[in-house]
């Protein structure tokens, strides 16, 4: 908040009380979290909802929350990633507000986090173009999600219509075999739904399963010049899987066979 | 193998060469793994396929592998769990062989692993009734999967028809919030598909995200008298989520609202 006051004095950040609640591994009960989101989204004095962190359990409340939004909520900005993607997806599906996938306040603690958070504020407050993923083409629709979040949205009432979109997939802290399995799931479920393409964003903090992965990680971290830049995880964004068979910028989904989507080094 | 020779001298265990292959995080290339499985499944000198371990990448080869199976493969036993569930599910979908969810050779290294492996052999070799999950009702159809494996099979060509089945869900080494998210996904996708019920099997080795989970785990590990017994993870089966809202034996899927499926302590 001190950082925001320094870099974006024209913006006032209000943290919802509920952010500090705890119930099990969630930040409050389903009712608390739904009510908190709905009341802020429907509040005419607030211009943007910036999700504080990933949001365990966002899937549980998204459908009900979106149904309670009013006209004020429709004119708002919503920004976050990870499990908050469930809310962002449900909002986008319902055509509500301007939704974006990008750094959250909780990112401030990581390496490069301050820069990431400032970039989010630059986008929320000034809508500065440099904050966006480079290489986006005007007129082309894009959607960005964490892989596991989106994989778990397939077949639910939360997933938006991604027809004509280039889908940017990112992930953090997932095993590569789980990433591979989720890509199989996602490609199977999105095949034939008119996606314009799939593009790999940041993939980082991969837990190791075997010695091989150290090798993969080393190669990935050497990919500096080729790595994509994005408003997401920029500080951690050492990994682009060009060596893995998955990273083919803007490739068409129908071109991705399961074999090509293999997430390992051959 | 020494254990099997001692306890089940009438059975001969043959390990496929491919089990010792490595490619990335897989045990050989897709082609190697497919060919290995198909040749053993189609081999008339072999009575049962016992998956050696979880099987990263099983989803990648299951559909193609099953299409290449012959009549011999149809009369065989198939046993495993975790990602091998992709193959078991695809086999069951195709009506091939007798498939079962249970301990694998790789379990031998864990606490209680020898007993688990011997129970699998008791089932494969002698079909002994005591090896089965207690409480199964004759005439009722059951299906058992690791949660994440099944969640990633929804919407793919691997998932079998579970109409009329009681689904037994197990998981290992998944965060509770991920378990919760996957339950949301699974309940959304299986709703209206005629499942007879969902039952929780073993859930163990849960990574911690917050201090709460230590509390949850402690409660779970005190559930000794109430815990279910099953041929799966029996040694590790200290966790049954009676305290979490999820464990309701044989409850009907339609009765499970998202709120009830919450995986946390309230």
pLDDT of B62 over the 80 cut: yes
Query: What's the half-sphere exposure (Cβ side, CA atoms, 13 Å) at B194?
Result: 6
- Report CB contact under 8 Å: A22, B212: yes
What's the pLDDT at B203?
A: 67
- Report CB contact under 8 Å: A177, B266: no
| Closest residue to A151, CB basis, from B59, B152, B176 | B152
pLDDT of B115 over the 80 cut: yes
pLDDT of B211 over the 50 cut: no
Segment A62-97, tens digit of pLDDT: 999 999 999 999 999 999 999 999 999 999 999 999
Within an 8 Å CB–CB cutoff, is residue A189 touching chain B? Answer: yes
Segment A236-246, tens digit of pLDDT: 222 223 323 33
* Span A23-34, average pLDDT: 82
* Span B87-106, average pLDDT: 93
d(CA B96, CA A20): 52
d(CA A258, CA A25): 35
Q: Which residues of A touch B266 (CB under 8 A)?
A: 23-24, 29
d(CA A150, CA A186): 8
The model's confidence at residue A148, banded by pLDDT at 50, 70 and 90, is very high
Q: Which residues of A touch B23 (CB under 8 A)?
A: 264, 266
Q: Is-contact A42 A73, C-beta < 8 A?
A: yes
The more confident residue out of A227 and B107 is B107
The model's confidence at residue B16, banded by pLDDT at 50, 70 and 90, is confident
pLDDT of B31 over the 80 cut: yes
Within an 8 Å CB–CB cutoff, is residue A142 touching chain B? Answer: no
Instruction: Return the H-helix or E-strand segment holding B167.
Output: strand B165-172
The tokens of B124 are what?
């494969």
| Closest residue to B181, CB basis, from A24, A152, A155 | A152
d(CA B83, CA B33): 14
d(CA B97, CA B76): 5
Q: Is-contact A161 A191, C-beta < 8 A?
A: no
- Report CB contact under 8 Å: B56, A180: yes
The shortest C-alpha distance from A126 to chain B (Å) reads 34
What is the Cα B112 distance to its own chain's centre? 17
pLDDT of B63 over the 50 cut: yes
What's the pLDDT at B178?
A: 82
The model's confidence at residue A110, banded by pLDDT at 50, 70 and 90, is confident
The model's confidence at residue A184, banded by pLDDT at 50, 70 and 90, is confident
What's the pLDDT at B60?
A: 87
Average pLDDT, chain A: 75
B 225-244: CB under 8 A from A: none
d(CA B80, CA B104): 6
Strands (E), B32-123: 48-50, 77-80, 98-101
What's the pLDDT at A174?
A: 73
The model's confidence at residue B70, banded by pLDDT at 50, 70 and 90, is very high
The shortest C-alpha distance from B206 to chain A (Å) reads 13
The more confident residue out of B198 and B10 is B10
Within an 8 Å CB–CB cutoff, is residue B263 touching chain A? Answer: yes
- Report CB contact under 8 Å: B184, A152: yes
What's the pLDDT at A152?
A: 95
* DSSP classification of residue B75: T
What's the pLDDT at B204?
A: 66
Chain A to chain B, count of Cβ pairs less than 8 Å apart?
A: 136
CB atoms within 10 A of CB B223: 17
* Span B15-38, average pLDDT: 84
Q: DSSP letters of B221-242? A: HT-GGG----SSSGGG-----T
d(CA B5, CA B75): 24
What's the pLDDT at A207?
A: 65
- Complex confidence, ipTM: 0.76
pTM: 0.79
d(CA B45, CA B40): 9
* Span B202-223, average pLDDT: 46
pLDDT of B189 over the 70 cut: yes
Calculate the CA dihedral of residues B81, B57, B19, B115 and round it to 10 degrees: -20
3-state DSSP call for residue A153?
Answer: helix
């Amino acid at each position: 908040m001190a950082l925001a006051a320094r870099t974006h004095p024209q913006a006032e950040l209000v943290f919802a009380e509920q952010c500090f609640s705890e119930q099990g591994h969630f930040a409050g009960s389903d009712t608390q979290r739904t009510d908190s989101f709905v009341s802020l989204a429907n509040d005419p004095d607030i211009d943007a909802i910036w999700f504080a962190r990933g949001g365990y359990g966002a899937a549980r409340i998204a459908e009900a929350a979106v149904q309670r939004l009013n006209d004020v909520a429709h004119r708002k900005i919503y920004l976050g990633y990870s499990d908050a993607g469930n809310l962002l997806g449900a909002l986008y599906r319902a055509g509500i507000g301007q939704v974006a996938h990008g750094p959250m306040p909780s990112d401030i603690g990581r390496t490069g986090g301050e820069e990431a958070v400032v970039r989010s504020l630059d986008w929320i407050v000034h809508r500065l173009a440099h904050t966006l993923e480079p290489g986006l083409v005007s007129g082309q629709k894009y959607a960005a999600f964490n892989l596991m979040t989106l994989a778990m949205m397939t077949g639910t009432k939360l997933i938006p219509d991604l027809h004509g979109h280039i889908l940017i997939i990112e992930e953090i802290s997932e095993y590569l075999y789980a990433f591979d399995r989720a890509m199989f799931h996602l490609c199977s479920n999105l095949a034939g739904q008119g996606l314009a393409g799939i593009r790999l964003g940041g993939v980082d903090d991969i837990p190791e399963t075997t010695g091989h992965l150290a090798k993969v990680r080393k190669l990935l971290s050497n990919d500096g010049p080729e790595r994509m830049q994005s408003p997401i995880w920029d500080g951690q964004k050492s990994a682009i899987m060009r060596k893995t068979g998955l990273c083919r910028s803007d490739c068409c989904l129908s071109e991705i066979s399961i074999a090509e989507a293999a997430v390992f080094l051959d």
